[in-house]
Amino acid sequence: MTKHKVSGHLSKSLFTRGTQCHKSLWLHKYQPELKDEADEALEARFRSGHEVGSLAKGLFPGGVEVPYDGLSYAEQLAMTRKLLAEGRETIYEASFQHDGIFVKVDILHRGAAGWELLEVKGTTEVKKHHYLDAAVQLYVLSGAGLKIAKVALVHIDNSYTRLGAIDVQKLFTIEDSTAEVREMQPNIALALADMRTMLAGEMPAIDIGPHCSAPYACDFHGHCWGHIPEDSVFEIGRLSGAKQFDLYRQGMVRQSDVPVQRLSEKQRHQVESTMKQGNTLKKEEVRQFLDALRYPICYLDFETVNPAIPLFDASRPFQMIPFQYSLHVQPSAGAALVHHEFLAQPGVDPREELTATLLWQIPEGATVIAWWKTFEKTRLRELAQHLPQYAARIGRLLESFHDPIELFQSRSVYFWQQKGSSSIKDVLPLIVPELSYDGMDVADGDMAMTAYYDMCATKDPQEVARIRKALLEYCGLDTMAMVRIVEKLRVMADEGG
């Protein structure tokens, strides 16, 4: 017995949603209110994708766009028909409908051999699921009567280095995908028929699985994963997703259900800590870490952006550019902390000023503490490459890094509530509960990135001031958190001899 009368069309994005999971498409159609709230990272990806799409149009300049906003589907289809009838060579967002699917083609261009369908991706390589996006478009365009000579996926070439204005011909790579996409055609009609049958019925009984996050993170996660308890197998650190689902499908949902012999030493330690609600403190190892720290001690944290389209000269697509740091310096034992901070001006390449200021503020011979030092050290190496005049000093600095995360990763210090994570965001509330990221306008690295882009985009000085304040507070807390954690480790190592 059917429950729903299927009406309306599917779009390319709904088709790909349905391909990933029928239940996701069903929920989107009938119970969209169950979706998770969009997070900052998703919004940032969306914004980046939009910018990449706009820029890629420059590969075939002089085209006419069929806008989405302000036109109904029928009007977009009519406008496309008119542009084709006029003999236009290039149409952006050309709109077609066939078999109940409405698609908009990023770039439709009349090449020497006929019409070329180009799908733009904001990634540095073609991924398997990208072919599906192009395949559904080819299905619709062919069904609508347009003969397509070539299908291509356009993606970013991350070997491109910006010098002056963006050179779109060098920024993008056009990959002929005609053969792969044609081969998929028979499956499109079958997949569509399946989706229609599914949409006419009750919600499909699909359990959670790897499809919840691949190829895209599903936005019904909160709804579908509600039955998973806090101490589940999905929280066992360094256990692959495949193995987690393997255990889950065998009915082992809680960590306590898993036979310990199926786990590594660290995983076993985590599971046993969770079951006993017990913590670990190996004082000797903590003391060794602390004894290696020499004053002055500097606590350093970078914030970075990695835009798909390089913002500055001498930078590549997706290159991490540090735009902010916080530095707490403790000159000697018991001395007052000195706080330095740097935040780039909007739209200005921050690298030289940031590097010069940072190297001036870190005393020669100091110990540098960074949480997950690989990140800060890699950024410094990149800065040394970009600014060779600072390479020798950066080289010495790289030798002086120490990283408290190693104590937590090695399980020398472990709180059962860490759930296998050694992120500072998870450790801080357990060691220094009075410090918290809760309620901050910027509360993680993704939000800091978004805030930086917002700061560069706005012309309102008050808004710039508000964003700067939020960014400085956030980054300052990252280094203060390290200061307080190290202080607490000293107390913990001394307690009880």
Give contact residues for ligand SF4 (rule: CB under 6 A). Answer: 21, 23-24, 27, 206, 208, 211-212, 218, 220-221, 224
Long-range contacts of 235-244 (CB under 8 A, 24+ apart): 235/419, 235/420, 236/263, 236/267, 236/270, 236/271, 236/420, 237/266, 237/267, 237/270, 237/419, 237/420, 237/421, 238/264, 238/266, 238/267, 238/420, 239/263, 239/267, 241/210, 241/213, 242/210
In whole angstroms, how close is the CB of 103 to ligand SF4 at the nearest point? 22
Q: Strand locations in 139-223, DSSP E?
A: 148-156, 172-176
CA distances from 212 to 43, 209, 222, 241, 407 (A): 19, 6, 11, 11, 33
**Within 10 Å of residue 431's Cβ, how many Cβ atoms?**
21
Give the 3-state secondary structure of residue 245.
helix
In whole angstroms, how close is the CB of 229 to ligand SF4 at the nearest point? 17
**How many angstroms separate the CA atoms of 286 and 477, rounded?**
23
In whole angstroms, how close is the CB of 250 to ligand SF4 at the nearest point? 18
Nearer to ligand SF4, 41 or 64 (CB): 41
Q: Is 164 left (phi over 0), alpha (psi -120 to 50) or beta?
A: left
Nearer to ligand SF4, 4 or 182 (CB): 4
Cβ–Cβ under 8 Å, residues 68 and 54 = no
Nearer to ligand SF4, 23 or 328 (CB): 23
**Joined tokens for residue 440:** 């901050």
Nearer to ligand SF4, 17 or 379 (CB): 17
In whole angstroms, how close is the CB of 232 to ligand SF4 at the nearest point? 15
**Joined tokens for residue 93:** 């967002």
In whole angstroms, how close is the CB of 42 to ligand SF4 at the nearest point? 14
Nearer to ligand SF4, 35 or 381 (CB): 35
In whole angstroms, how close is the CB of 7 to ligand SF4 at the nearest point? 21
CA torsion through residues 2, 8, 13, 15, sign: positive
**How many angstroms separate the CA atoms of 443 and 436, rounded?**
9
In whole angstroms, how close is the CB of 33 to ligand SF4 at the nearest point? 14
In whole angstroms, how close is the CB of 28 to ligand SF4 at the nearest point? 9
Nearer to ligand SF4, 107 or 218 (CB): 218
In whole angstroms, how close is the CB of 134 to ligand SF4 at the nearest point? 22
Cβ–Cβ under 8 Å, residues 400 and 367 = yes
Give the 3-state secondary structure of residue 77.
helix
